[in-house]
Amino acid sequence: MSQKCEFSFPVEGENFDDAGKVSVEIKRLLKGLGITGDILRRTAIATYESEVNIISYAWQGTIDVRVTDDNILINIQDSGPGIIDIEQAMQQGYSTANDRIREMGFGAGMGLFNIKNCSDGFEILSEINKGTLLKILINR
């Protein structure tokens, strides 16, 4: 029998002051579920970059985390402008960030690349002027 645990957090676009708040909370919750070490770390990093992406580029979004005995699935769904060229967005160094994002220490075109590096499974679906869905799978 597989045990499941799910939680969901809203993230508001352009709320730069709170950037990272949700990810710190998700990390705390996962730690409480007994997830540690490299798996906790990779999940937290992938979540953080995704949260910064919503704040930086989308209008609003949600981060859903589902934990089972086998894996952690994170769905990051935003409503926003979408990604025109996903392949280009995945490239290291490619960014459309503004000064506000860069002042925070982000926007150097590392985000999606970092997320992919932390993931065992990774998928992006995006629709222009609707939004983006990012699916991240991390095996336990």
Partner 1 sequence: MTLREIADLLDARVLAGEKHLDTEVKTAFSADLMSDVLAFAKPGSIMITGLTNPQIVRIASIVDNSAILIVRGKIPPDETITLAEELDIPVLSTKYILFETSGRLYANGIIGCVRKIEGPGSVIPL
Q: How many angstroms separate the CA atoms of 102 and 104, rounded? A: 5
- Minimum distance from residue 128 beta carbon to partner 1 (Å): 25
| Stretch of 3-11, 15-23, 68-76, 78-86 lying at the interface with partner 1 (CB under 8 A) | 15-23
- Tokens for 132, please give them: 């983006």
- Tokens for 34, please give them: 């007994």
Q: Which of 8, 68, 92, 139 binds partner 1 (CB under 8 A)?
A: 92
Q: How many angstroms separate the CA atoms of 35 and 51, rounded? A: 20
Asked if 6 and 67 count as a contact pair (C-beta separation under 8 A), the reply is yes
- Minimum distance from residue 39 beta carbon to partner 1 (Å): 13
Q: Which of 29, 39, 45, 137 binds partner 1 (CB under 8 A)?
A: 45
Confirm or reject binding of residue 44 to partner 1 (CB under 8 A).
Answer: yes
Confirm or reject binding of residue 31 to partner 1 (CB under 8 A).
Answer: no
Confirm or reject binding of residue 88 to partner 1 (CB under 8 A).
Answer: no
Confirm or reject binding of residue 104 to partner 1 (CB under 8 A).
Answer: yes
DSSP for 48-81? HHHHHHHHHH-SEEEEEEEE-SSEEEEEEEEESS
